[in-house]
Amino acid sequence: MRIDVLTLFPEIFHSYLGQSVLKKAIERGLVEIYLHNIRDWSHDKKHHKVDDRPFGGGPGMVLMAPPVVECVEAVQAMADQPGHLVMLTPQGRKLNQAVVEELAQYPRLLLLCGRYEGFDERIRLILKPDEISIGDYVLNGGEVAAMVVIDAVIRLVPGVLGDEESSRQDSFSGPERLLDHAQYTRPRCYRGYEVPAVLLSGNHRAIARWRLMDRRRRTEERRRDLLESSTASRSGEGVRDEKTSKNSLGERGDAGLQPESPATETQEDSKQE
């Protein structure tokens, strides 16, 4: 996958691009990232100005259309395919894992980062970008948002994580888009908190069942909105029945969702280590 970042502050990306997962993906040729400074397309050859005061008055400065539009067009022409143009803006559609999956399908992405009070409206009208927001808050510019997009998208590029299963098991992934289940590692007991016995049982079916229940329970407790908008809720799966307060597994409340740990599994557990 090729990603071109169009920004007034390319240097912000340098340390991020050197971090382990991304660095390895770049070294292995799985991801190519190119940084372009919008200022290089400024019509002002002396001061490389790219912003101006808003017509009609108001605070701040607005990014001018000519340098931005011409920068995008020139960068599009740098490869065989123009790529999918993303504009990072708080006014865009909100980024979530489904949008990340959609973006990961493109062989080439152009990420356009704004600064100042925003973009001249003609940039949107001419370029018709896919406008994306990373959340309902205003950042000082699109650079951090672009890094968020890159970080989430490259996890889905085949080969980047080494183990494809690990991105498939991420929170928000899979048909139900559930949160991830709890994870434990050594020691088995810490300050009185034991690792659930089923995870030590070696019984892979029981572990898979426990993890699915834990994902559903956590999602119900923390992010009911995810269940309401997921395939699971459309088919009635994983959602608590309001009348019986049972979930789709027929269990009542938290108690019913405790991990299964039959005595045999607990005994086997001691053989495991």
85 binds ligand ADE (CB under 6 A): no
The question of whether 155 is a catalytic residue gets the answer: yes
135 binds ligand ADE (CB under 6 A): yes
Among 67, 83, 90, 259, binds ligand ADE (CB under 6 A): 90
160 Cβ neighbours under 8 A, 6+ residues apart: 21, 24, 25, 30, 31, 154
198 binds ligand ADE (CB under 6 A): no
Among 139, 147, 161, 199, binds ligand ADE (CB under 6 A): 139
Piece in contact with ligand ADE (CB under 6 A), picked from 12-20, 137-145, 200-208, 209-217: 137-145
The question of whether 32 is a catalytic residue gets the answer: no
**Least distance CB 97 / ligand ADE (angstroms):** 16
The question of whether 180 is a catalytic residue gets the answer: no
**Least distance CB 111 / ligand ADE (angstroms):** 10
138 binds ligand ADE (CB under 6 A): yes
88 binds ligand ADE (CB under 6 A): yes
86/232 with CB nearer ligand ADE: 86
Annotated catalytic residue, options 67, 90, 129, 259: 90
133/201 with CB nearer ligand ADE: 133
Interface with ligand ADE (CB under 6 A): 88-90, 133-135, 137-139, 142, 145
Residues that are catalytic = 90, 117, 155, 170
